[in-house]
C-alpha cells in the first residue's frame, strides 16, 4: 500500500506533537502541537485538511505505543477508518539509530521519517475486540 502523506505523532499525556511528510516534497516536514483530547484532535484534523492536496485516504499515521495516552487519537482514527501504524518505541529507536537531541517535536519528525522510509514493513493497527477493551479498562481502574 502506497501513501502520499506520512504523519508521525509523538503522544504524551497532555499533548500530541505531529509531523507531516508529503512524499512529493519529502524534504519539507511541517509540525504542529495540539492537546491530547477531542478538541485537540479536531484541531489536528482541520490543520491536516488545510494542507495542499491533502486527503485522509492517502495518509499513514504512525505513532509509538504509549498505552492509555494513545486511545483518544486511536479512537478517532479507527472510527474514521484511517490507516494507523502503532509501533514499539524500541523498534523505531533501533531503526533510526542513536540521535542527539530529544524533544517531542523532534520525536514526531523521526516517527514520520520512520514511517516514510519503512512503510513497506508496516502493520496496520486493529483495535482490540470490545470485550478485551472492557477488561483492560476494568484492570486499569482496579489498580489506579
125-4-60 Cα angle (round to 5): 15
Total-model pTM: 0.83
Reported as half-sphere exposure (CB side, CA atoms, 13 A), residue 11 has a value of: 22
- Cα–Cα distance, 3 to 26 (Å, whole number): 12
Average pLDDT, the chain: 87
Cross-strand bridge partners of residue 76:
none
| Superfamily (CATH) of domain 5-143 | Ribonuclease H-like superfamily/Ribonuclease H (3.30.420.10)
pLDDT tier, 95 (very low <50, low <70, confident <90, very high otherwise): confident
26-29: which pairs have CB atoms within 8 A and are 24 or more residues apart? 26/116, 29/109, 29/112, 29/113
Domain positions in the chain: 5-143
pLDDT of residue 52: 86
Amino acid at each position: 500500500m502506497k501513501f502520499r502523506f506520512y504523519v508521525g505523532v509523538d503522544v504524551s499525556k497532555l499533548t500530541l506533537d505531529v509531523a507531516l511528510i508529503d512524499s512529493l516534497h519529502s524534504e519539507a516536514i511541517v509540525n504542529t502541537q495540539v492537546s491530547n483530547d477531542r478538541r485537540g484532535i479536531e484541531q489536528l484534523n482541520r490543520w491536516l485538511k488545510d494542507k495542499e492536496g491533502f486527503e485522509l485516504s492517502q495518509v499513514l499515521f504512525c505513532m509509538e505505543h504509549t498505552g492509555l495516552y494513545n486511545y483518544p487519537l486511536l479512537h478517532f482514527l479507527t472510527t474514521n477508518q484511517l490507516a494507523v501504524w502503532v509501533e514499539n518505541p524500541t523498534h523505531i529507536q533501533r531503526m533510526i539509530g542513536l540521535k542527539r537531541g530529544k524533544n517531542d517535536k523532534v520525536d514526531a519528525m523521526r516517527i514520520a521519517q520512520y514511517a516514510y522510509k519503512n512503510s513497506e514493513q508496516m502493520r496496520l493497527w486493529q483495535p482490540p475486540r470490545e470485550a478485551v477493551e472492557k477488561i483492560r479498562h476494568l484492570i486499569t481502574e482496579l489498580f489506579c
